[in-house]
């Protein structure tokens, strides 16, 4: 009975609530939530159609993208790249003054000027060839080397002669360094025509009574008469030996090597066998070894010793690199000794083995390489 009364009461309450609820409005909790969600979508849609003056919500900005602009993450990444490529393409056609990009410089090069490294090197070589109108580039050599091979001077000195206008090629004064000449070109220096000669290296065992010069105004005997039939090339002695000094004397037409052998900087060693008028005391030998002060400065030999095979102490061997005039004779004369005989037995690693007095021989290729490696 009570159950029937409760059911009737509950039904009465439900009917009363149904009559009091406005039309179109939800009553249950599920219905109240669902229409609220639909209302939000409807309101948002209305805002899209009729935007107000307030800021648009994030959802609106997400879908309402301005025309021609991308908003998705992929499009946003792609768009700056596309824009940059478009601008770079515009720069190639109409580059702004003072703001040319690297890519523009790569393709828009100045007329007649290379940009790539390979082109710059090639253009530099071509430019050098254009200025070289003398001789053939196939068999041509640089003019300074030509002068050195002709025995005029070293390459460095030849550059000075060229710049000073002292050299003529085919009757034209040449002052440009790097000029090449060929076998058909006529090179003149000092009023004489030079010839392109192959390098010659000759060693003479000089006898006594000959002076070391190519020409003597007093018509004395010179070392050139001893080698005049050795070769057709014009060769010159390297360094000097006194008239009464015997021994090794080198001849060559290689001016660069001759300059090197005579320069004090390279300290080319020479060994002399000295015969004195009296025995050299041990005290004097120590003084020479320590160094003597001569009128042109202090000089000290590299080595000094008595000749082992000699019966007395009149014969002395001395090794020295100084090239001063009559330096060996002046060393002993400073201590009141008179040099009776002076013979150069070794020069720049060359010796006089199997080379009799007054005779000469050509150097081997091994000896030539040895001289070029000195210093």
Q: Phi, psi at residue 168, to the nearest 5°?
A: -120, 140
* Paired sense of beta strands 192-194 and 187-189, if any: antiparallel
Which residue out of 242, 302, 336, 354 is catalytically annotated? 242
Greatest distance between any 2 Cα atoms in the chain: 171
* 312 classed as catalytic: no
Which residues belong to the active site? 242
């Amino acid at each position: 009975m009570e159950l029937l009364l409760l059911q009737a009461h509950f039904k009465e309450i439900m009917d009363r609530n149904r009559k009091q609820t406005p039309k179109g409005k939800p009553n249950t909790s599920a219905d109240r939530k669902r229409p609220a969600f639909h209302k939000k979508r409807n309101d948002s849609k209305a805002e899209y159609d009729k935007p107000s003056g307030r800021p648009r919500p994030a959802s609106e900005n997400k879908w309402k993208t301005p025309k021609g602009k991308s908003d998705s993450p992929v499009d946003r990444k792609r768009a700056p790249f596309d824009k940059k490529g478009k601008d770079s393409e515009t720069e190639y056609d109409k580059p702004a003054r003072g703001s040319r990009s690297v890519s523009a410089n790569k393709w828009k090069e100045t007329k007649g000027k290379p940009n790539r490294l390979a082109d710059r090197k090639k253009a530099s070589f071509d430019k050098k060839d254009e200025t070289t109108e003398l001789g053939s580039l196939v068999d041509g050599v640089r003019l300074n080397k030509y002068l050195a091979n002709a025995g005029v001077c070293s390459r460095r000195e030849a550059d000075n002669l060229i710049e000073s206008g002292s050299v003529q090629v085919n009757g034209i004064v040449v002052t440009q360094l790097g000029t090449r000449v060929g076998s058909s070109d006529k090179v003149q220096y000092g009023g004489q025509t030079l010839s392109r000669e192959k390098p010659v290296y000759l060693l003479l065992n000089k006898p006594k009574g000959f002076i070391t010069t190519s020409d003597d105004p007093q018509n004395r005997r010179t070392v050139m008469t001893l080698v005049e039939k050795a070769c057709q090339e014009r060769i010159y002695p390297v360094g000097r030996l006194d008239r009464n000094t015997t021994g090794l004397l080198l001849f060559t037409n290689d001016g660069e090597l001759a300059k090197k052998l005579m320069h004090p900087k390279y300290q080319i060693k020479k060994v002399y066998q000295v015969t004195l008028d009296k025995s050299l005391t041990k005290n004097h030998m120590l003084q020479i070894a320590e160094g003597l002060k001569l009128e042109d400065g202090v000089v000290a030999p590299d080595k000094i010793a008595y000749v082992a095979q000699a019966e007395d102490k009149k014969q002395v061997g001395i090794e020295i690199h100084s090239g001063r005039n009559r330096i060996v004779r002046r060393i002993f004369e400073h201590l009141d000794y008179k040099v009776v005989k002076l013979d150069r037995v070794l020069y720049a690693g060359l010796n006089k083995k199997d080379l009799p007095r007054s005779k000469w021989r050509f150097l081997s290729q091994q000896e030539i390489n040895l001289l070029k490696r000195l210093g």
